[in-house]
Structure 1
């Protein structure tokens, strides 16, 4: 069945459940990983009223590992549904995660909604209550086609893309190569090992550039020569700067007015594209 997914103005709050707080607060938490923050919420839920006994601690660790394992299976499945513009049913979700874990379905589904929103900017909305059918609504508008197709580290890669697009805006529509390397270094220090991309520089300079999400070019008239990153034509086509910033700041309840230079700057889509073409011609 084809989905009726539609792009929503702004990010808004996901219909299920409310946004967890403490994500992407600039400048420090901006380097944190949305997936790791999402998965930490499962641990916090299990800590409520928990005993300090070693037996229960071990049980909590096993539950967290189980939840992470099921999320690792479900996120690629839902992303494929989103890219094909298909709806998804609760029955399909249960089949992917294993019917033997039906008792965990309510908890896993809540975490799944959070992770889809935090990591990909996609809202899961119920469209047929009796049949438990959901549409995958693009909040950011990013399709991720071509960069997440192999199902390897898709959460970390999507998170890194949004991080870079956001930082480019904050930095005045361009991000120096040195600043990006510093950002990646801070991200590796803050993130958990399993959520760090094996070769982030290759992913950025090859995959994201090839797919048109980023432009990587020499800074015009720079001496000594230096390089910068800009939004690519595909990023401009799929989303807007305000949508990316609104989504990012809403996760931490940060007021956009805290960054007046971002709010006041005029749209620069055409200027950025001309600048990118000029850099390639030089």
Structure 2
């Protein structure tokens, strides 16, 4: 087979593999995150365009599918043209219902986060009302799903206020920063959205268009212009707050016409986490292991090797400076200057 055809074949296979890998993050995050209240979905959102849909519905395909191929000027223009046909509200996302217990877990997550925001106790009797009496027998399983996802995504743990009180509260997990990110100054649980965003960018080939980011956020029930119970005004949060904190870079896509923007990891994200840690987070959300994402796992391994070499070089440089300083004879205070 001619070399050019082999190259094209490998490129097609790489794109197909990337689509399979990135799909899982959107689906798993949708199950993990709070959904908008019934009837509050903005026009043009996935649920609005697909007709009435239960809370907790998830997209059947990733908003970042196939985005990991290298860019050229031609590809950039083609991508911008494709993005033009996809609104920030992700009208093109296909909606597939989740199983009833997962949907109820999503509703329960939203309820618990609202109580957390208002600093009110989370009573079991109220949670049972939210879940509905039809699912009372399944309440333990629904609560377990909800608490696991809140821990993974938001770094919050459900704790009983007093023994046998049936009243709970969400508290920050002390070891959250040790899991990957982040020595963040962002308030908990705002920093919980950062790891998923870094994951989307990584799985998209280390940059994700603004349209792709909004498609992903829409799957989580986060919409441009609609105030979120945790994140406030989402556009301000991701394009200003996370950028000012240097966790994200928000820049114009080169040669884009019409003008379009993309997100990359910021310097603080590179300093405080790594591709492997983010991939471990993505794998944990999907109840699997990093090697289940072979293309990105290989890239993360290369990144780990480069980081190890940089650390080793840094230590060697510091040691050399220390030796050089030790060889310099101390100056004689009595000698003339």
TM value normalised by structure 1: 0.49
Q: Which has the higher contact order (CA 8 A, sep 6+)?
A: 1
TM (normalized to structure 2)? 0.42
